[in-house]
Structure 1
Amino acid sequence: DASRTGIWGVSLGGYYAPRAAAYEKRIKACVALSGPFQRSADFTGRPQMNVEASRVRSKSANLEEAGKVAVRFSLAGIAKNITCPIYIVAGTKDRLTPHAQAEKLAGAVSGPCVLSVIEGGNHVVNNLGYRYRDQTADWMAAQL
């Protein structure tokens, strides 16, 4: 049933899902989990595996190039176009996407928003999944 389309994004998908919802009005609800509002060119403090993955995935020869690609990932000026209900989840111990990114997204959307910042949650809050998985699934079902 195309009138009941939801989107759910995890990690970088937590960036792409809200971005899609901003442009595709057939999306009726969105869940964003640990996605960035604005990626950074600064890789300081990130796990080396993540830094190298960012370089390779961006097809960059070095970190300077990867940083230039990273900053193009931004919901600034776009998030206001999100009018469908959105449920945003972030963890306070996320080393890849600080929870302040989720707070920025929540403050920028135009539609109904649930923001769940989970104390002690790591990236994608895998360590405390019981704190959001059922809630977000039930929420999505109710929206659709």
Structure 2
Amino acid sequence: MATSKPLRVVVIDDDDDSREMMGVLLESLGHRVECAREGLAGLALIQETPPDLAIIDLELPTVSGCEIVQRLRAAGIATFCAALTGDARPGTRMAALKAGFHAHLVKPVEFSDLVMLLDSVGVAERATQPTGQASREAVRSSRPD
């Protein structure tokens, strides 16, 4: 299942190549992307206009990815957040989820993992719509073109 509408995505990553590649990949899938190299700049982007999805590197200068997500949750911002890290250990994943992330992506991100993440965001978004609207969206998305 592909997401039914373009998502607004914020990518926060201090690694230029990783951030750029993620942005290009998301845009090639039809999504609107804004990027930040530094944690506080990314936090400000999200707080200003909460996106559908934030992909946040865990290891950032000045403020960690976990701290960003904790600040968002404390402010009542429920944006779907995915942790981005080179650390695939289960403890890192659990710490990210405990901090408030919804998902955990390991660098280099596999295309199939990114597509599954985007689908998850679309499903979560539809689940928060009023029942009638969610049902209409489900029917529309299940019809063949």
Is TM-score (shorter-chain normalized) higher than 0.5?
no
More RCO (CA 8 Å, sep 6+) = 1
Normalising by structure 2, what TM-score? 0.39
Normalising by structure 1, what TM-score? 0.39
Question: More helix per residue: 1 or 2?
Answer: 2
